[in-house]
Amino acid sequence: MRSPLLPVSFACALLLSANVFAQDYPSSSKPITFVLPYAAGGPTDKAARDLAQAMSKAMGGHSIVIDNSAGASGSIGANKVAKASADGYTLLFTHIAQATLPTFFRNLPYNVEKDFEYIGLVSENPMNLIGRPSLPANNMVELVSWINANKGKINIANAGPGSASHLCGMLFQSTIKVDMTSVPYKGTAPAMTDLIGGQVDLMCDQTTTTIPQIEGKKVKSFAVTTPTRLSSPVLKDNPTMQEAGLKDFSVTIWQGLYAPRGTPAPVLKKLNDALKVAVKDPDFIRKQDAGGATVINDARNDPAGHKAFVMAEIAKWAPVIRAAGVYAD
Ligand code: ASP
């Protein structure tokens, strides 16, 4: 007969080894990697680098490096983390794609609910409709009439189906009832280069990286996606999409940190503690504020609140995406 003690002692041994491992975590010889599923220089990359700096400070200067594993709308990087060792050294930093890709992809190679440990949400970001500098429109009224006069000829850049920019661009097209050609990139940094160069007409992206380009007069800015105007000096004269007549239009992007499933609880606790110190770091708050982003300071900084929020976002966006009938695979 099998001894009932055996599984209990096995579980105790596992717990003990997780605790011993956690005491040592993070080991001074091993950097922590934030896998970032978009190209360097974009808004998600910027947010990840700001967080890495603040969390490193909170962890006594421990090195945190960024791995830009871009492509397939952010699913390549997320899949890499889903399959990585659950040791706390390989983490995923991503945005709303965590909630939109499960619907945009019919065959996503990982499970958002089951393959990750949720560490905490960090920040929220408004978005901003911008255009190439040579566009013959200077405000939303002129833009909408230019779009209507050029149906079938307009293209709009994004970071791939299911990315934040795609979601925003898709809502924009369905609200004004005009189809445009979507041009996907591996992140909005390369898309921004083409927008500035006039190869694409429009993009809707996070304010964190649109603000410097608007300020430098490299792109034209038309509207923000929040229900109320933003206080940023660069964007305060931009109307909201709703003011511009696009009823109910509202998109806010959020960013969070994830570990592979099975990461020991004491390791997750250390990461969550560092994240909670980082979101109160005045330097981190100042940097997010300058980009029009808001640092999250509520129950979503904790694993349970983070996961509940992402599950609610999946349920919120699934019908919108299905109604549009746009899939990434
Ligand atoms: N802003 C991008 C998106 O549309 C991603 C990025 O490059 O940060 O999802």
- Name the least confident of 122-126, 275-279, 315-319, 322-326: 322-326
Q: Where are the alpha helices (DSSP H) in the chain?
A: 5-24, 43-58, 75-82, 97-104, 140-149, 164-176, 188-196, 207-215, 265-278, 282-290, 303-324
Q: For residue 4, name the pLDDT band (cuts at 50, 70, 90).
A: very low
pLDDT exceeds cutoff 90 at 5: no
Residue 111 neighbours by CB under 8 Å, 6+ apart: 82
The per-residue pLDDT for 38 is 96
Token pair for 115: 């393959």
Q: Could you tell me if the CB of 238 is within 6 A of ligand 1? A: no
pLDDT exceeds cutoff 50 at 2: no
Directed axis angle between helix 207-215 and helix 43-58, to 10°? 110
pLDDT exceeds cutoff 60 at 27: yes
At residue 308, what are phi and psi to the nearest 5 degrees? Answer: -60, -40
The per-residue pLDDT for 96 is 96
Ligand 1 midpoint to CA 149 (Å) = 29
Given the CA of residue 39, which atom of ligand 1 is nearest to it?
A: 7
Q: What is the mean pLDDT of residues 115-141?
A: 97
The per-residue pLDDT for 181 is 96
Q: Which residue out of 35, 36, 95 has the highest number of ligand 1 atoms within 8 Å of its CB and is therefore the one to mutate?
A: 95
Mean pLDDT across the chain: 93
The per-residue pLDDT for 162 is 86
The per-residue pLDDT for 9 is 57
239 close to 140: Cβ distance less than 8 angstroms: yes
CA-nearest of 296, 298, 323, 268 to 47 is 296
The per-residue pLDDT for 325 is 82
Tell me the C-alpha distance between 21 and 266, whole Å.
Answer: 9
Given the CA of residue 206, which atom of ligand 1 is nearest to it?
A: 1
Q: For residue 320, name the pLDDT band (cuts at 50, 70, 90).
A: confident
Q: What is the CATH number of domain 5-125+252-324?
A: 3.40.190.150
Q: Could you tell me if the CB of 94 is within 6 A of ligand 1? A: no
The per-residue pLDDT for 17 is 58
Give the start-to-end residue ranges of the domains of the chain: 5-125+252-324, 126-224
Radius of gyration of the chain (CA): 21
Given the CA of residue 189, which atom of ligand 1 is nearest to it?
A: 7
The per-residue pLDDT for 114 is 98
pLDDT per position as a tens digit, 132-148 = 999 999 999 999 999 99
**Atom 7 (ligand 1) nearest CA:** 187
The per-residue pLDDT for 147 is 97
Q: What is the CATH number of domain 126-224?
A: 3.40.190.10
The per-residue pLDDT for 248 is 87
Q: Could you tell me if the CB of 291 is within 6 A of ligand 1? A: no
pLDDT per position as a tens digit, 63-117 = 999 999 999 999 999 999 999 999 999 999 999 999 999 999 999 999 999 999 9
% of the chain surpassing 70 pLDDT: 94
Q: For residue 11, name the pLDDT band (cuts at 50, 70, 90).
A: low
Question: Quick check: do 5-125+252-324 and 126-224 share a fold?
Answer: yes
SS3 content of the chain, % helix, strand, coil (to 5): 45, 20, 40
Q: Which residue out of 36, 44, 185 has the highest number of ligand 1 atoms within 8 Å of its CB and is therefore the one to mutate?
A: 44
The per-residue pLDDT for 28 is 84
**Cis bond leading into 26, ω under 30°?**
yes
pLDDT per position as a tens digit, 297-312 = 999 999 999 999 999 9
Given the CA of residue 167, which atom of ligand 1 is nearest to it?
A: 4
Tell me the C-alpha distance between 88 and 258, whole Å.
Answer: 10
